[in-house]
Amino acid sequence: MCAAQSRKRDPIVGTSMPTLEAADKVTGATLYVGDLVVPGMAHAKVLRSPLPHARVVSIDAAEARALPGVVCVLTRDEVAAAGIEPVYGFVYRDAPLVALDKVRYQGDIVAVVVADDLATAEAALELIEVDYDELEPVMDVDAALADGAPLVHDTFSPIAPELRPVEGTNVCHRASIAWGDVEAGFREADRIYEDTFSAPPVQHCALDLHACVAAIEDGAITVWTNCQSPFPLQRELQRIFKMDARVIVPYVGGGFGSKSRDRLECVVTAAAQLAGRPVRLVLTQEETFLTFIRPAYRGTIKTGVKDDGTIVARHVRFTVDVGAYAISGARSANNTLKVATGPYRIPNALVECDAVYTNKPPSAPYRGLPTTQHTMAYETQLDRIARDLGIDPVELRMRNLVVDGDVHITGDLLRSTHAKECLEAAAAGIDWGKPSERPDKPAKLRGKGVSCTIKYTLTPPTRLSENGAEIELREDGLFEVRIGTVNIGQGSDTTMAQIAADGLGVGLDRIRVVHSDTALVPVDSSTTASRSTYHMGNAVLDAAAKLTADVLAVASQLLERDAASLALGPDGVEADDGESISYEELVRRSGGPLTALGECVVGGTYTAPDGTEYPIASTFWSFASAAAEVEVDTDTGEVRVLRMGAASNVGKAVNPDSVRTQLEGGVGMELGPTLFEQLVWDEGGQLLTAALMDYPLPTMETSPLYRPEIIEHPLEGGPFGAKGMGEIGSVITPAAVLNAVYDATGVMFHEVPLLPHKVLAALEGRK
Amino acid sequence: MRPAKTMKIELKVNGKRERREVPPSRTLLELVREDLGLTGTKAYCHSGICGACTVLLDGAAVSSCSLLAAQADGAEVTTIEGLAADGALHPIQQAFIDHFGFQCGYCTPGMVLLTKALLDEVPEPTREDIVRYMGGNICRCTGYAGILASVEAAAKALSTKD
Ligand code: FES
Ligand code: FES
């Protein structure tokens, strides 16, 4: 680490500070994609399928095209005539730009109208006639897995090598991982428990609606979008249109996974090509519910324990409803295989999953993929086990939680765990062990619950750098840090500026950040899976070290001093003897800006102490705990979360208040799906909870308003010891609430949300 | 397709007099964002629920997506762009920065203006007042604790100021 070069200066990493863009955000100056105006742009509206599954017989858009103000209408015919690739998806290539032979969910894109203004585009939608031949839909996993079920796709087109579809079925990916001998483990067990847990789909409800603007000029595409994966999208655009492409992602108003993959950009580019002018599409809130959703989940978990509570075997089988297109959902399901057994020492494990096509909207990760649902399954079961064995739930966890040096079910050696400390801190947040205060009426019951989790980050199968970062010392004496990370609200510009400042040994006032523009920054795989702080942070640090060496070498010549006697100072390079040269002058005299490219190499294999080679399943593992105190009104069935505690080992908090806010936000958000959010379709495949009117979200009134704990045990290899933590808050929440309800009422719920009528029905059953 | 008829309206936006001819169906949100180019006002639900589009209409917080521009005829409208006087941040804005009252910032213009309306109405609000009042706007990032802290700090800053 080159920070050693810097002198007598307090570290910036580890200091809480408002984000660099904070003033622009409170004054309304920050521009999001929906705020951008590109000269000459036209406006697009999407015609969506009213049916969940149908053959598209014919599309007649003549009348729409004739409407004054309509620029063009894009259907499968125009896509064919343009000679572009009609199907996209860089993980699974199964999503058509617009419907080709079939529509596969209510809301599937059939046509795009481009007009001079939005009102005209909307009016034109009404004039398009589509003739459908209805097919039987499969609306859930059971229907999709039934013998002779209608097939959502006739063929499979996985791109990522780990994806394995099952021919002739709706299973677009089937996988398993095994560790030890699960059958032998169950034979060793004193008791065996089996539970099935399910959770319905929800939507991310990021307030910044999916939007994009596409323009084609001089044979090159420019797309402005709020997608979290600008570089993979760039490659998709180049493949589909056989043209150069530039993707620009300005500030994004939250995504939570709903923008992790592109969904609109290719079709809007096709519309712009047909229109011959830039085109903007901004979805409505209702349309975002038809764009990406969190998948329906069901998991069956079987656990064998000794009488003292030691877990000896665990078998998890789960299904994920990926919806109509597997562009995102199939790989997400696969990734969570490795965390389905929890943060526990488990000598014998088997985890199996089916990712299944249905006629629902496509699924995407939701702040922690199905890790949240896995955690609900194994953590609620653990409380049942605790009660059965007469062991305190915290104590039972303490007996089984992993510690540094343990080996996970993937073979990975665990480091920087401190899962027990997280649990203790979270439990302390609700005064675990002390009885709850008495509620104000006898019909109300109070209880407490905890939960623990383990989370991975996206990790390549071979050793490579998936992202770079560039730092350039420029004529104006500023260090420009160029990163692919999308600033989606997590404050990544600031985190990276802090890391760069300490890496270089200069003040924050010397740093300028340029983000997520494929023409200006080095390649980055994506801003997902809590990966940025670690990966981009390391790349920034690497670039800082290289640039420092280059700057000192130049300064050494200019000042005629030994490089070892020089260091980067606040305003220029300083020598031991007091000589110095300003950054501006250094750049001027060296003949131009100095640039260094940093990288972060991850993946590959690791050799276990016994000599076995394992592929590294996750570059780092994250650990967190939550604790909840709830009040259940047995008259109304209403569940209120009174208090929450949460803690995560983040390695090192680069910007502690920012980390705390993110952890807190994850918990707060997930209370919605825990208590009241769910998407519901009728039997005919129509989404009933289509608008916010029918889909309540957490507000300040329903939130517990607490502050989580940050635990810092530096991770070797992390930038200043930091790990990522963008998602872990949500992962730990539902299980803690369900366990608290169990503690209060004696009823264990095996599904969310905890709607009052369901709670009442379950309490009736108890009597 | 569009109604040919337009209406003349006159209103003050951030202290500036605006005379416009708008179709009767034009919302206040559209007037502010598209006609006046004040994109600090955001939108999500377009149905009066989320509060992202909050502006002040004669000092009261309203959802601009659910009001017609014509309903603002003769009124005084304040958007987020109008809050900071001559470039200096308003104490409410400063409080949101200091107390991590946001992450992505998309709900922030609405939250800041809602806070302004609250504190104009109730200069020394209790925690319950704040929770009830601010419960009208949705934030997806923060979990609301930072927003609560920001509003409390802003109330304090404003009350010590005068
Ligand atoms: S956009 Fe106006 S209230 Fe949601
Ligand atoms: S800060 Fe992102 S919605 Fe509130």
* DSSP secondary structure string for all residues of A110-141: EEEEEESSHHHHHHHHTT-EEEEEE-----SH
Tell me, yes or no, whether B49 lies in a domain. yes
Query: Which of A389, A368, A367, A386 lies closest to A378, judged by CA?
Result: A386
Which ranges in A35-138 belong to alpha helices (H)?
62-66, 76-82, 118-125
- The CATH number of the structural domain formed by A3-30+464-602 is 3.30.365.10
| Ligand 1 atom with least separation from CA of B45 | 4
> Ligand 1 pocket: which of B28, B44, B67 to mutate (most atoms <8 Å of CB)?
B44
Which two tokens mark A440? 């104000």
The reply to whether residue A707 touches residue B42, judged by beta carbons under 8 angstroms, is no
pTM of the full predicted structure? Answer: 0.95
Mean pLDDT value across residues B2-20:
88
Question: How many domains would you assign to chain B?
Answer: 2
Which two tokens mark A694? 């029918």
Query: Which of A487, A201, A491, A532 lies closest to A372, judged by CA?
Result: A201
| B42 and B101 belong to one structural domain | no
SS3 of A227-271: the string is: CCCHHHHHHHHHHHHCCEEEEECCCCCCCCCCCCCCCCHHHHHHH
CATH number for B149: 1.10.150.120
Tell me, yes or no, whether B1 lies in a domain. no
| Ligand 2 atom with least separation from CA of B147 | 4
| B110 and B55 belong to one structural domain | no
Length of chain B: 162
Domain boundaries, chain A: 3-30+464-602, 417-455+619-766
Tell me, yes or no, whether B2 lies in a domain. no
Tell me how far the alpha carbon of residue A178 is from its chain's centroid.
Answer: 26
> Ligand 2 pocket: which of A19, A26, A207, A662 to mutate (most atoms <8 Å of CB)?
A207
- Other Cβ atoms within 10 Å of A375 Cβ, number: 31
Query: Which of A300, A311, A32, A57 lies closest to A188, judged by CA?
Result: A311
| B110 and B74 belong to one structural domain | no
What span, in angstroms and rounded, lies between the C-alpha atoms of B138 and A207?
9
From B19, B54, B82, give the residue that closes a domain. Answer: B82
Whether the bond into A11 is cis, omega within 30 of 0: no
What span, in angstroms and rounded, lies between the C-alpha atoms of A688 and A682?
7
| B53 and B118 belong to one structural domain | no
Which two tokens mark B55? 């502006």
CATH number for B29: 3.10.20.30
Side chain identity at residue A442, one-letter code: P
| Ligand 1 atom with least separation from CA of B65 | 2
Which residue's entry shows tokens 């920054």? A521
The beta-carbon neighbor of A26 closest among B39, B46, B93 is B93
Please check whether residue A112 is in contact with residue A287, taking contact to mean a CB–CB distance below 8 angstroms. Answer: no
Q: In chain A, what residues touch B43 (CB-CB under 8 Å)? A: 34, 209
- Beta-bridge partners for A197: A299
What residue in B sits closest to A488 (Cα-Cα)? B104
Please check whether residue A518 is in contact with residue A231, taking contact to mean a CB–CB distance below 8 angstroms. Answer: yes
| B74 and B96 belong to one structural domain | no
Q: In chain A, what residues touch B93 (CB-CB under 8 Å)? A: 23, 26-27
Look up residue A147 and give its DSSP letter.
Answer: T
| B109 and B42 belong to one structural domain | no
What residue in B sits closest to A252 (Cα-Cα)? B104
- Please tell me the predicted confidence (pLDDT) of residue A8: 63
| CA distances (Å), origin A263, targets A228, A459, A678, A723 | 11, 23, 22, 29
Which two tokens mark A308? 């003292």
The reply to whether residue B50 touches residue A207, judged by beta carbons under 8 angstroms, is yes
What residue in A sits closest to B92 (Cα-Cα)? A26
Q: How far is the CA of B147 from the centre of ligand 2 (A)?
A: 10
Q: In chain A, what residues touch B100 (CB-CB under 8 Å)? A: 18, 657-658, 660-661
What span, in angstroms and rounded, lies between the C-alpha atoms of A737 and A626?
9
| Ligand 1 atom with least separation from CA of B49 | 3
Q: How far apart are the two ends of chain B, measured CA to CA in Å? A: 54
The reply to whether residue A256 touches residue B140, judged by beta carbons under 8 angstroms, is yes
- Please tell me the predicted confidence (pLDDT) of residue A726: 62
Q: Give the burial string for A482-509 (b: 16+ CB within 10 Å, else e).
A: bbbbbbbbbbbbbbbbbbbbbbbbbeee
The reply to whether residue B97 touches residue A22, judged by beta carbons under 8 angstroms, is yes
What span, in angstroms and rounded, lies between the C-alpha atoms of A15 and B156?
25
The reply to whether residue B44 touches residue A25, judged by beta carbons under 8 angstroms, is no
- Please tell me the predicted confidence (pLDDT) of residue A7: 54
| B31 and B74 belong to one structural domain | yes
The reply to whether residue B107 touches residue A18, judged by beta carbons under 8 angstroms, is no
- Over the stretch A653-674, which tens digit does the pLDDT of each residue have? 999 998 998 889 999 999 999 9
- Please tell me the predicted confidence (pLDDT) of residue A230: 94
Asked if A3-30+464-602 and A417-455+619-766 have one fold, the answer is: yes
Which residue's entry shows tokens 């249905």? A358
Give the number of whichever ligand sits closest to the CA of residue A207: 2
From B19, B49, B82, give the residue that closes a domain. Answer: B82
Domain that holds residue B52: 7-82
The reply to whether residue A22 touches residue B38, judged by beta carbons under 8 angstroms, is no
- Over the stretch B53-101, which tens digit does the pLDDT of each residue have? 999 999 999 999 999 999 999 999 999 999 987 779 999 999 999 999 9
Give the number of whichever ligand sits closest to the CA of residue B46: 1
Share in percent of chain A as helix, strand, coil (round to 5):
30, 25, 45
| B44 and B17 belong to one structural domain | yes
From B59, B82, B105, give the residue that closes a domain. Answer: B82
| B51 and B117 belong to one structural domain | no
Query: Which of A103, A87, A95 lies closest to A53, judged by CA?
Result: A103
Q: From start to end of A324-368, where are the E strands?
A: 349-357
Q: Ligand 2 within 6 A of B141 CB? A: yes
The reply to whether residue A28 touches residue B81, judged by beta carbons under 8 angstroms, is yes
Side chain identity at residue A325, one-letter code: Y
Is the model's pLDDT at B162 over the cut of 70?
Answer: no
- Please tell me the predicted confidence (pLDDT) of residue A67: 98
Side chain identity at residue B77, one-letter code: V
What span, in angstroms and rounded, lies between the C-alpha atoms of A484 and A208?
20
Residues of chain A with pLDDT under 70: 1-8, 528-530, 609, 726, 767
What residue in A sits closest to B39 (Cα-Cα)? A35
| Ligand 1 atom with least separation from CA of B48 | 3
In angstroms, what separates the C-alpha of A724 from chain B's closest C-alpha?
16
Q: Ligand 2 within 6 A of B106 CB? A: yes
Is the model's pLDDT at B22 over the cut of 60?
Answer: yes
The reply to whether residue A251 touches residue B104, judged by beta carbons under 8 angstroms, is yes
- Please tell me the predicted confidence (pLDDT) of residue A3: 36
- Beta-bridge partners for B9: B20
| B128 and B154 belong to one structural domain | yes
- Please tell me the predicted confidence (pLDDT) of residue A5: 45
Length of chain A: 767
Helix or strand (DSSP H, E) at A396:
helix A393-400
Q: Does domain A417-455+619-766 have CATH number 3.30.365.10?
A: yes
In angstroms, what separates the C-alpha of B110 from chain A's closest C-alpha?
10
Query: Which of A349, A340, A341, A345 lies closest to A402, judged by CA?
Result: A345
Helix or strand (DSSP H, E) at A274:
helix A265-275
What span, in angstroms and rounded, lies between the C-alpha atoms of A661 and A708?
8
| B78 and B97 belong to one structural domain | no
What span, in angstroms and rounded, lies between the C-alpha atoms of B72 and B63?
12
